[in-house]
Amino acid sequence: MAGDSPPNRAGRLGRAAFVGSLVFTAVLLALALAGVSDPKPAGPLRLDDPLDSDAGWQPLDEHGSWEPVEGGTRLAVEEPDRLALVQSPYTIQPPATIEITAAQIGGPPEGAYGLWWGDDPVTVVGVKGNGYYGVFTTDGDEIDYLIEWVPFPHVRPGGEANRLWVDFRAGRAEIRINEDVAATFDSPGEGPFPVGFYVETFRAGGSSALLDRLRVWEGE
C-alpha cells in the first residue's frame, strides 16, 4: 500500500511526541507563571497567629467549647446538627488573603470545620474528614449554600492538617484548599470585616477540630 514506510511513520510519531511534550511543558509554565501552583497573597504579611493562646478569640454562641490545647486551640461541638463559630480578634480589609491551618481531631468523618468571614450574613468555607468541602452563608439558623457539600480530591482526611486560603480582590473571593483552587465567587463588601473559625456537626455529634495557625496578608 502506498504511503509512509515504517521508518518514516516512526519519525513522524517521534516528532509529534516531541511537539506534544513542548506544548505540555509550555502549559505547565504558563500555569506556574499565573500562580496556579504557587499562589501569591494580596500584599505583605500583616499577622501570623500561631494559636499558642486563645487570647482575644470570642465564641459567638453556646454550641461549642473553645480552649487551648497542645499544638493549637480546639473547638468542639457535642450535640448533633449544630454549628459553632468563634471570632478572632482581627479584622480584614481587602485586598487581603486569609489562611488557616487546621485538622479534625475527633468525631465522625462527616464533621466539618473551616474558616468564616463577614457579618449579616457570615460566609463559611468548610471541609470534612471524609473529603468533602462546601461554601455557604449563614444568618442565625438560616443557611444558604453557594456550593453544596461535594468531594474535592485535595481535602486531606480526618487527623491530617488542611490549609484553607481565601483571597479577596476586586470584589471576588478565591478559595484554595491545600493550594488548589476550589471555587471563585463574588464577595461584596469593602470591609473591614471579622473572621474566625467554625465547627459543625450533622446527624452525629461529638466533633472537634484543632486550629493551629492563622495568617493574614493585606494591601497590594
Q: Which three cell numbers stand for residue 186?
A: 463574588
Q: What CA–CA distance (Å, rounded) separates 160 from 180?
A: 16
**DSSP annotation of 6:** H
State residue 220's pLDDT score: 65
One domain, residues 183 and 129: yes
One domain for residues 69 and 142: yes
H helical segments located in the chain: 6-33
> Does residue 62 share a domain with residue 28?
no
> Are 183 and 76 in the same domain?
yes
Domain that holds residue 59: 45-218
In a shared domain, residues 33 and 108: no
Please tell me whether residues 31 and 61 are part of one structural domain: no
- On whether both 2 and 83 belong to a single domain, the answer is no
* DSSP code, position 144: E
- pTM across the whole model: 0.82
Question: Do residue 15 and residue 81 come from a single domain?
Answer: no
How far is Cα 51 from Cα 103, in angstroms, rounded to an integer?
13
Residue by residue, pLDDT tens for the chain (220 residues) are 444 554 554 455 455 444 444 444 343 334 434 444 577 999 999 999 999 877 899 999 999 999 999 999 999 999 999 999 999 999 999 999 999 999 999 999 999 999 999 988 999 999 999 999 999 999 877 899 999 999 999 999 999 999 999 999 988 999 999 999 999 999 877 789 999 999 999 999 999 999 999 999 998 6
d(CA 168, CA 97): 6
116 plus 154 within the same structural domain = yes
Distance in angstroms (rounded) separating the CA atoms of residues 158 and 35: 28
- The answer on 80 and 2 residing in a single domain is no
**Domain at 98, CATH number:** 2.60.120.560
Question: Quick one: 119 and 214 in the same domain?
Answer: yes
Both 96 and 195 in a single domain? yes
> How many independent structural domains does the chain possess?
2
Cα 59–Cα 60–Cα 61 angle in degrees, nearest 5: 95
